[in-house]
């Protein structure tokens, strides 16, 4: 429940009301996923996935990322068009994401929690109210984080193979390099090649 508590604090603009706090901290299953990768890689993947939203808070040391409010009135009305709900005047949501270290140094694991706060406004008289969450968006985002990690892992493996091949080719080129010709003895300054040859004949 510590993560849920932390995310709840991130989602709330104020905690002046115990009822408001208790509502968010009720026993719910917060969407989460465990990735077999270290914290830095998972954090980078999470930031990459969340770039499509306006980021309000991005604190890697605390492992917390929070978005600004995003309007989704059209999406909410499209979903409600299949039910009996009245048309919504306005709708908006924000996301809070927490990244936790885990595992060991040799086998690192990182857990990510995502929670969405959905608000709707039926009309001007009722004002904004929190709406039920189906957790679909959170699960999609968790899947995308895993996809980014998989792609990065493949690219990293390919790059290591390329570096190994280049290193091997460089080593082969050094081995196959032709030997340099033997150095010609230098003549004393002012001595012509013919004179040097004559000296050799006299010997």
pTM: 0.67
Q: How far apart are CA 61 and CA 43, in angstroms?
A: 10
The confidence score (pLDDT) of residue 64 equals 94
Q: At 35, is the pLDDT very low, low, confident or very high (cuts 50, 70, 90)?
A: very high
Domains of the chain, earliest start first: 30-156 (3.30.310.80)
**Percentage of the chain with pLDDT > 70?**
69
Whole-angstrom CA distances from 51 to 44, 64, 75, 112, 196 are 11, 14, 20, 16, 80
37 DSSP assignment: S
């Amino acid at each position: 429940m510590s993560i849920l508590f932390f995310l709840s604090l991130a989602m709330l603009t104020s905690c002046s009301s115990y009822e408001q706090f208790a509502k968010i901290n009720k026993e719910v299953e917060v969407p989460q996923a465990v990735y077999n990768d270290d914290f830095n890689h998972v954090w980078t993947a999470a930031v990459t996935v969340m770039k499509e939203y306006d980021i309000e808070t991005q604190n890697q040391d605390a492992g917390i990322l929070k978005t600004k409010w995003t309007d989704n009135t059209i999406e909410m009305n499209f979903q409600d068009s299949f039910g009996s709900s009245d048309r919504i005047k306005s709708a908006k949501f924000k996301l809070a994401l927490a990244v936790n270290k885990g595992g060991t140094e040799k086998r690192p694991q990182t857990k990510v929690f995502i929670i969405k706060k959905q608000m709707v406004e039926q009309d001007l008289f009722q004002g904004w109210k929190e709406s039920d969450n189906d957790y679909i968006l959170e699960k999609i985002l968790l899947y995308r984080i895993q996809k980014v990690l998989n792609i990065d892992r493949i690219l990293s493996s390919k790059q290591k193979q390329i570096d190994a091949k280049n290193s091997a080719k460089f080593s082969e080129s050094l081995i196959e390099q032709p030997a340099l010709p033997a150095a010609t003895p230098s003549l004393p300054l002012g001595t012509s090649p013919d004179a040097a040859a004559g000296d050799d004949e006299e010997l």
